[in-house]
Amino acid sequence: MRVSTPAFVLRRVRWSESSLILTLYSLDFGRASAIVKGALRPNSRFLGRIELFSQGEFQLSRREGRELDTATEVSVISHNHMLRTGFSSFAGAGLFSEWLLAAVSHGNEPSRPVYCLVEQVFGLLEEGVAPWPVVCGGVVRLLQLSGHGFSTDICVACGAEIADSPCWSHSGGGVVCGKCGESGFPVKSGIISFLSRAGNSSLESLSRVRLWPGGYIQCHSLLKEYAQVHFEHRLLLKSEKVMKEMLDAGH
């Protein structure tokens, strides 16, 4: 079956002398893998069209019951040049892609909201905004969209509104109040208000939110530990280290 879908290239792996296997997030099929035969030949028609983090219209040949599609034609929608050449944009796009691939396994239903989220996160990073708030905010949305949302305003143990000195419970699914504090651990209220805002306002406005030094690293660690409790498989985020080093270097 020949199909056509817009998709983002999230991973490129060399398969043979001249072929690549791409991991895509597509609008019509969700996560997909596609082999691109001859992609690495010097005169390949795919040259410059299947770059990492770029967005293209993919013609795919799909076969029932097979996980690997064959890409037959690609035309570029967005090159997203900065996502490969700007250090902080590259690290941010890499980390968000890893989160996406951890949250969305092969065979998941396609999701327009998830596709639009990738478009937004990549779009902002391509503009060169600070990567941490966009990545953390994007992850909060991704968790909501993949059925792993959490509470940031109502105690998950007793239902009371959270006033001050919030605690957090990974297994409970979010904040706990002072009275129920024993079922969680203390967490800075600045992180809770960021997480709450991330669930309710645009990523663009979020990209201007500044936390205290190291705040986003704490926020990301909390999200990672939370996801680890709720995902069925181990969460490996290789780009996290790069993002931390970048912050240390003052980017």
Distance (Å, rounded) from C-alpha 67 to C-alpha 199? 33
Q: Which is nearer to Zn ion, 175 or 191 (CB)?
A: 175
Please, what is the minimum distance in Å from the beta carbon of residue 172 to Zn ion? 10
Q: Which is nearer to Zn ion, 178 or 190 (CB)?
A: 178
Which among 78, 4, 17, 25 has a CA at the least distance from the CA of 44? 17
Q: Which is nearer to Zn ion, 101 or 154 (CB)?
A: 154
Please, what is the minimum distance in Å from the beta carbon of residue 152 to Zn ion? 14
Residue owning tokens 């993002």? 243
Please, what is the minimum distance in Å from the beta carbon of residue 174 to Zn ion? 11
Residue 157 is a binding residue for Zn ion (CB under 5 A): yes
Q: Which is nearer to Zn ion, 118 or 180 (CB)?
A: 180
Q: Which of 13, 47, 116, 158 binds Zn ion (CB under 5 A)?
A: 158
Residue 229 is a binding residue for Zn ion (CB under 5 A): no
- DSSP character string of 171-187: TTTEEE-STTGGGSEE-
Distance (Å, rounded) from C-alpha 248 to C-alpha 81? 25
CA max distance for the chain: 67
Please, what is the minimum distance in Å from the beta carbon of residue 164 to Zn ion? 13
Which of the residues 172 through 211 are near Zn ion (CB under 5 A)? 177, 180
Q: Which is nearer to Zn ion, 133 or 172 (CB)?
A: 172
**What's the token pair of residue 206?**
């979020």
Binding range to Zn ion, per CB under 5 A, among 20-28, 40-48, 49-57, 148-156: 148-156
Kindly give the residue spans of alpha helices, DSSP state H, lying in 46-147.
82-85, 87-103, 112-127, 131-145
Please, what is the minimum distance in Å from the beta carbon of residue 169 to Zn ion? 10
Please, what is the minimum distance in Å from the beta carbon of residue 173 to Zn ion? 13
Residue 142 is a binding residue for Zn ion (CB under 5 A): no
Distance (Å, rounded) from C-alpha 80 to C-alpha 145? 24
Please, what is the minimum distance in Å from the beta carbon of residue 165 to Zn ion? 12
3-state secondary structure of 154: strand
Cβ within 8 Å of residue 37, ≥6 positions away = 18, 19, 70
**What's the token pair of residue 232?**
């069925």
Contact 35, 19 (CB under 8 A): yes
Residue 104 is a binding residue for Zn ion (CB under 5 A): no
Residue 134 is a binding residue for Zn ion (CB under 5 A): no
Residues at the contact surface with Zn ion, assessed by CB under 5 A: 155, 157-158, 160, 177, 180
